[in-house]
Amino acid sequence: MISLRVAVRLLEIQRVLVRHGLDEFVTATHLYRPLRFLYFLQPSTWFERRRGGSRGERLRLAAEELGPIFIKFGQAVSTRRDLLPIDIADELAKLQDRVPPFPGAEARAAIERSLGHPVGELFGSFDEAPLAAASIAQVHTATLKDGREVIVKVLRPGMREVIRRDLEVLYALAALALRYIPEASRLRPLDVVAEYDKTIMDELDLMREAGNAAQLKRNFAGSPLLYVPEVHFTLCTNDVLVMERIRGIQISDIERLRALKVNIQKLAENGVEIFFTQMLRHNFFHADMHPGNIFVLADDPDNPRYAAVDFGIVGTLDPRDLEYLAGNFLAFFDRDYRRVAELHVESGWVPAGTRVQELEGAVRTVCEPIFDKPLAEISFGVVLLRLFETARRFRMEVQPQLVLLQKTLLNIEGLGRQLYPELDLWKTAQPLLRAWSAERSSPRTLLAEARRHLPDFIATLRATPPLLRRLVREADARDSLFGVEVARLEALRGEVRESARRRDRTIVASAFLLLGGLWLVFETDPWWLGGLLFSAAGIYLFARR
């Protein structure tokens, strides 16, 4: 059953969609079927005045009004201009950094409340006018006491409660999907929502974001590919984040990049290398790479460098999943579709009884047509639809632990399409994967792994002798106990045997007495002596017993 709070929120979502003239999303949504009658009973459905504007603008305004989860969804899909009409993609792109801000005075009060000091004591200067506003937080510019420029990120007021409420709605919709859509169990909607729950609640902790930024900066220290701003941890709390201000060109500003004669092809190829480096070498990747979070440092136009911000969402993979993914990528680039099918079965991503040759043929049918083509000539909308059909046919379950990586891949591919549509994704990525695979099996890597695990091995060796002694003592104790138990068992067996012998003697003695008594009763001639003998024998046996 849907709780009252969730039902009220669903009705609120419905009112917002109707108010912005998006009725078709309500009437066409399968998950609203149990509540659809309420749509027709609401006065707003029949009498409320609809707002004007294009469909893209109305979608954007509705997302802004509905809150952070809807804004984040709009941000994610806005990068896929190949899947969306241009007018909708252009409007949703405004959600990346142009969400309506909250008052600067509230931001100042939140900073002072969180850090425990007046803003004037913490910073040399502070601009109450926000530099950018996003779904969960907004950013202000400031300077430190020593004059260094920084940005101050402040969590929106009441954001945790808003997120928890909408997560309840997502859980309810997932439950409705399981109940009313036969295919939903394969998509594992409750697991996917639980994974998103963990991700977005982590994003609300700005101290966690500071830690993520520091880790990413260490990973790319000295790299010409990516720059990560410095974090000032003494000014960071769960609600406030202070880090170095960077001055770069937003990745979506293609005209300015071209005006500065930035090497766009190299920039696009570097983006692919950054992604695979994060995934394969570091197993720690920036998972919110929409254009609002990616900048270009164009001091050297021939060797442009990326700069990233907003580290609230990062991803890591289980080593086993990472091995399977890398194997899938390599097999795909080699067009070894049988290996792709085998890896899917081995990993458990498809049911164990799946026929490998059938899955191999299905994967070949989908993937072969897109090889040797630049992004501009690939219809990923068609490819995705065909992949979904393949997944449905083979009962392929969604892997919640991979959803964050899949979202990042979609963002990366969308950015590449905007930046340099002629990019040959396969040609760029394949050498990186091969180099990683060769490095994984190289003697140097194996030696490094052995060296890394050497302290654990030594500790295990040191712990082995006392452990063996204890095991020997326990074994001796068990043997002694076993010996005692064996003796007790033998004694018990002796008692049972003796009891059986006594029982047998009793039966024989009783028989002799009975026979002797009958003989004495019925015989009067000298044969009565036989009865007397039998009776005497019975008495003797009783005595022996």
Domain finish residue from 51, 67, 95: 95
Domain annotation covers residue 405:
yes
The predicted pLDDT at position 506 comes to: 64
Query: Is there a single domain that holds both residue 407 and residue 519?
Result: no
Query: By the 8 A CB rule, do 432 and 273 touch?
Result: yes
Query: Is there a single domain that holds both residue 326 and residue 381?
Result: yes
Domain annotation covers residue 223:
no
Query: By the 8 A CB rule, do 400 and 379 touch?
Result: no
Instruction: Provide the domain limits for residue 427.
Output: 319-441
Query: Is there a single domain that holds both residue 527 and residue 502?
Result: yes
Residue 288 is a catalytic residue: yes
Rounded to whole angstroms, the Cα distance separating 341 from 347 reads: 10
| Tens of pLDDT, residue by residue, the chain (545 residues) | 567 777 788 778 877 877 887 765 555 554 455 555 455 545 555 455 455 677 888 888 888 888 888 887 777 667 666 566 778 878 887 876 677 899 999 999 999 999 999 999 999 999 999 998 888 899 999 999 999 999 999 999 988 888 888 888 888 888 887 887 776 676 677 887 888 888 888 889 999 999 999 999 999 999 999 999 999 999 999 999 999 999 999 998 999 999 999 999 999 889 989 988 998 889 999 988 878 889 999 999 999 999 999 998 888 888 888 888 888 888 888 888 899 888 888 887 778 788 889 888 988 888 888 776 766 676 555 565 566 667 767 777 666 667 777 777 777 777 777 788 887 777 788 888 888 888 877 777 667 666 776 677 677 767 777 777 777 677 666 655 555 556 666 677 767 676 666 666 666 556 555 555 555 555 545 544 555 555 555 555 555 55
Domain annotation covers residue 103:
no
Domain finish residue from 441, 467, 493: 441
Query: By the 8 A CB rule, do 196 and 163 touch?
Result: no
CA quadruple 275, 277, 279, 280: dihedral sign: positive
141: three-class secondary structure by DSSP: strand
Query: By the 8 A CB rule, do 410 and 80 touch?
Result: yes
Domain annotation covers residue 463:
yes
* DSSP character at residue 231: B
The predicted pLDDT at position 252 comes to: 85
Question: How do strand 226-227 and strand 305-308 relate by DSSP bridges?
Answer: parallel
Looking at 205, 288, 372, 476, which residue is catalytic? 288
Query: Is there a single domain that holds both residue 502 and residue 490?
Result: yes
Domain annotation covers residue 109:
no
Domain finish residue from 375, 410, 441: 441
Provide the token pair at 7: 């039902």
